[in-house]
């Protein structure tokens, strides 16, 4: 029964919305409104689809004559009844909002889904308006936002902007700190690199100094050796000269005459 209660609120068209008297055969046996999305039982009783589906959740018989009824037995309305139903003139559901349209039930959905009187809310300022007025409202709304936006919304917008700004500021500070850290690290690395290079250069310099010292030592030794050998040569030349002189002075014996050849070989 609870399910039926729920369905009666949602389904069926209120008879007050029709100008002419509606044939009783076109009324739902459950909600007593004009059939919406109509179906028919084998016993010929007609219901709104939602009304009878809800009823059959708790019962398995026709609510009018109690004949056994299963959901699978429900059929479309007879064609002549369907035509009568479709041709009923019904008032638009936005009558209270100013729509004066009366349309065949068949085209009701088509009209209502585009009805200019349908209440709508401005997505920008939340002001109540209608489908037909929306375009004009949006012009005013975007041209004079401050005049249209309620004070509470302005406060909320400001609050949002403030927190966005604060978030952006914090984000900026974080990024700045990160960049500074990265820069410090890079500088540190460069400093370390430079120190290392300097150290390396000093080592090379030291190495060259040692090499130079060794070379000059060698050169000194060579010069010394050269000097020594020159002195030696001079000394030997001296000795040779003296020997030759001695030979000239000496008498010409065989053994002595052969001596100069040996000496010049030096």
Stretch that binds Zn ion, among 65-73, 202-210, 241-249, 255-263 (CB under 5 A): 65-73
Q: Is residue 120 involved in binding Zn ion (CB under 5 A)?
A: no
Smallest gap from Cβ 61 to Zn ion, in A, equals 8
Burial class (CB in 10 A: 0-12, 13-18, 19+), 119: middle
Site of tokens 């219901």: 47
Q: Which residues contact 128 (CB under 8 A, 6 or more apart)?
A: 119, 120, 121, 122
Q: Is residue 43 involved in binding Zn ion (CB under 5 A)?
A: yes
Smallest gap from Cβ 38 to Zn ion, in A, equals 9
φ, ψ dihedrals at 40, nearest 5°:
-130, 140
Q: Is residue 55 involved in binding Zn ion (CB under 5 A)?
A: no
Per the CB < 8 A criterion, the answer to whether 89 and 18 are in contact is yes
Please state whether 98 falls in left (phi above 0), alpha (psi between -120 and 50) or beta.
left
What is the spatial distance between Cα 256 and Cα 237, in angstroms, rounded to a whole number? 19
Smallest gap from Cβ 23 to Zn ion, in A, equals 15
By rule CB under 5 A, what count of residues binds Zn ion? Answer: 22
Q: Which of residues 72-111 bind Zn ion (CB under 5 A)?
A: 92, 94, 99, 101
Q: Among residues 124 and 263, whose Cβ is nearest to Zn ion?
A: 124
Which residues are at the interface with Zn ion (CB under 5 A)?
Answer: 11-12, 28, 30-31, 43, 45, 48, 51, 62, 64-65, 92, 94, 99, 101, 115, 122, 124-125, 127, 141
């Amino acid at each position: 029964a609870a399910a039926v209660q729920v369905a009666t609120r949602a389904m069926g068209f209120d008879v007050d919305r029709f100008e002419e008297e509606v044939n009783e055969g076109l009324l739902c046996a459950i909600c007593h409104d004009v059939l919406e999305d109509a179906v028919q039982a084998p016993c010929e009783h007609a219901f709104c689809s939602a009304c009878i589906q809800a009823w059959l959740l708790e019962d398995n018989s026709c609510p009018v004559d109690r004949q056994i009824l299963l959901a699978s037995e429900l059929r479309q309305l007879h064609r002549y009844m369907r035509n009568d139903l479709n041709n009923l003139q019904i008032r638009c559901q936005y009558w209270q909002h100013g729509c004066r349209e009366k349309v065949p039930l068949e085209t009701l959905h088509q009209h209502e889904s585009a009805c200019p009187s349908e209440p709508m809310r401005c997505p920008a300022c939340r002001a109540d308006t209608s489908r037909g007025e929306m375009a004009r409202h949006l012009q005013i709304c975007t041209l004079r936002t401050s005049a249209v936006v309620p004070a509470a919304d302005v406060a909320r917008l400001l609050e949002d902007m403030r927190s966005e700004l604060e978030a952006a500021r914090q984000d900026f500070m974080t990024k700045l700190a990160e960049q500074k850290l990265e820069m410090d690290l890079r500088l540190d690395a460069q400093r370390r690199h430079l120190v290392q290079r300097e150290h390396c250069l000093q080592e090379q310099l030291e190495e060259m100094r040692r090499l130079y010292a060794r070379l000059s030592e060698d050169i000194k030794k060579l010069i010394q050796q050269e000097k020594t050998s020159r002195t030696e040569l001079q000394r030997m030349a001296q000795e040779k000269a003296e020997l030759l002189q001695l030979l000239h002075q000496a008498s010409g014996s065989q053994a002595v005459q052969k001596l100069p050849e040996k000496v010049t070989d030096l």
